[in-house]
Each structure stands twice: as structure tokens, then as C-alpha cells.
Amino acid sequence: MGPPLAKVRTLTLTCRAAPSQWEGRLDDGRMFYVRVRRGELEVRLSPEPTTAVIDAVRAAPSLELDLSDPWVSFMDGETMRAVTASVLDFSEVGPATVGPDV
């Protein structure tokens, strides 16, 4: 059995495509970052509780997936939740809010 899933408390869509990006807070106070770009999906988790998503962006990937098409830089939120389910638990969070620059 692997490590427990990181339970998502907040979810924000920060870019719809090229790349698709989401960020948010976990129930333990850490931040997470998900990006789909050039056919790859990455999930990064900050190592410690923080309010700065850059701490997650700079962290080593917790999940890396090759989407087998180097032109894919878009993913809808439902698909993102499904493919990151081995790392992130979205069971207690609603739809993503949309960031101010999206």
C-alpha cells in the first residue's frame, strides 16, 4: 500500500490551456500544482505547509505521466481529477474556482 492520498481542500484553475494548470491547498496546509504541457502531466506538492504555490512548483514531481501526444497542452478538470487520483483526493472539494487571469 502506498502513501496516503493528499486531500485537496481548495482548487483553482490558473490556466485553461497551453499549459492547463491548477493549484490549491491540501488539508495539511501544503500547496499543490498540476500542469499539462507538451503531452506530459505533472503533480507537485510543497514539502511543508505554506501559502506560496511556488513552493509546490519548485518541488520534485509526485506524479509524472506521459500522455503519449506531445501536442497535448489542454485537459479538462474532470479528466485531471481522474488521472491524478493516485496522488490527490478531490472527494471533499467542489468545482475549481477560476483564477483572475484565466
Every domain of the chain and the residues it spans: 6-93
What global pTM score does this model have?
Answer: 0.94
User: Does residue 4 register a pLDDT over 90?
Assistant: no
Report whether 87 contacts 43 (CB < 8 A): yes
Rounded to 5°, angle at Cα 49 from 41 and 40: 5
**Does residue 18 have a pLDDT over 70?**
yes
pLDDT band at 93 (very low <50, low <70, confident <90, very high): very high
CA–centroid distance for 49 within its chain: 16
